[in-house]
């Protein structure tokens, strides 16, 4: 990759992740700077910004530089602005959003290409986020496993993360739809995905949404699926981000998984997130 002229890029770990400097997002960015941020995202899979000061308008304006905003159907609770999801953790919550290794919203026919998460109020310790490189998850498999997975498809559903049967609202402060009219959303995606911009192949299964392989029962699917889910976040595939107020994480949802660590103890944690619309999985 050629040198960056408009931003600084400091890698965070060997597998993925980099901190971006020299950027004031709220002030607005020219096209050249946005192009370098996109290039850094494609190179490092998840990028981080420090000491930013965003309101809702500037958060959404920055997100729109990378695509159309995606409205998450399970967080669309009739609020005035469904394009921003408020993620709140309060002391006493026994569950939090994103505490399992997942790729966002993969039950959709075209899952979001990325998400931009902004920290408003964070604990003095705890509440970090882990990210995992799914290019490496695929590339480190044996040739035999790669050949077996190529062409295999998996069923993704939101039945575990929303709806009255999940019962999450009684255990956490961030609410999702649990009304009687809620119905599961289900899509079938390739187990091995080709990234639409880089052309690289990556593993595309996750704990929150992937239920089984297409054409198989959950019981038949479980041994291989469990292996792939665990393999996908081996420590050498990951990076860890410690939040501070004003920090931003922008991840490529097409080739990463992530996990919110539920260890904030007596402290609240307030974040807000936009998602950027994506393409069908191929």
Q: Which of 231, 258, 262, 269 is catalytic?
A: 258
Active site annotation includes 258: yes
Active site annotation includes 128: no
235 C-beta neighbours (distance < 10 Å), count: 9
Active site annotation includes 6: no
Rg (CA), the chain: 18
Tokens of 71: 């409205």
Q: Which of 104, 172, 262, 269 is catalytic?
A: 104
Active site annotation includes 81: no
Q: Which of 59, 72, 102, 269 is catalytic?
A: 102
Q: Are 131 and 14 in contact (CB under 8 A)?
A: no
Catalytic center residues:
102, 104, 258, 273
């Amino acid at each position: 990759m050629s040198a960056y002229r408009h931003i600084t890029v400091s890698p965070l770990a060997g597998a993925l992740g980099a901190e971006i400097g020299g950027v004031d997002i709220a002030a607005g960015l020219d096209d050249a700077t946005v192009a370098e941020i996109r290039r850094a995202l494609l190179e490092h899979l998840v990028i981080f910004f420090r000491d930013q000061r965003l309101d809702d308008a500037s958060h959404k304006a920055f997100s729109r530089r990378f695509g159309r905003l995606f409205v998450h159907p399970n967080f669309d609770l009739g609020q005035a602005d469904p394009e921003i999801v408020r993620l709140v953790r309060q002391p006493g919550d026994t569950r939090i959003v994103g505490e399992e290794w997942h790729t966002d919203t993969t039950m959709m026919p075209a899952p979001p290409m990325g998400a931009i998460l902004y920290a408003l109020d964070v604990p003095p310790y705890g509440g970090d986020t882990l990210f995992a490189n799914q290019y490496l998850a695929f590339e480190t498999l044996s040739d035999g496993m790669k050949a077996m997975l190529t062409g295999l498809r998996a069923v993704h559903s939101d039945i575990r993360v929303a709806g009255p049967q999940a019962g999450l609202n009684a255990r956490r402060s961030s609410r999702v739809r649990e009304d009687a009219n809620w119905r599961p959303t289900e899509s079938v995606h390739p187990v091995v995905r080709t990234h639409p911009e880089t052309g690289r192949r990556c593993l595309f299964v996750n704990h929150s949404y992937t239920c089984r392989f297409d054409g198989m029962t959950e019981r038949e699917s479980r041994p291989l699926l469990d292996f792939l889910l665990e393999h996908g976040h081996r420590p050498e595939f990951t990076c860890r981000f410690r939040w501070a107020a004003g920090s931003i994480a922008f991840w490529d949802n097409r080739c990463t998984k992530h996990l919110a660590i539920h260890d904030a103890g007596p402290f609240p944690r307030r974040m807000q997130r936009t998602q950027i619309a994506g393409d069908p999985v191929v």
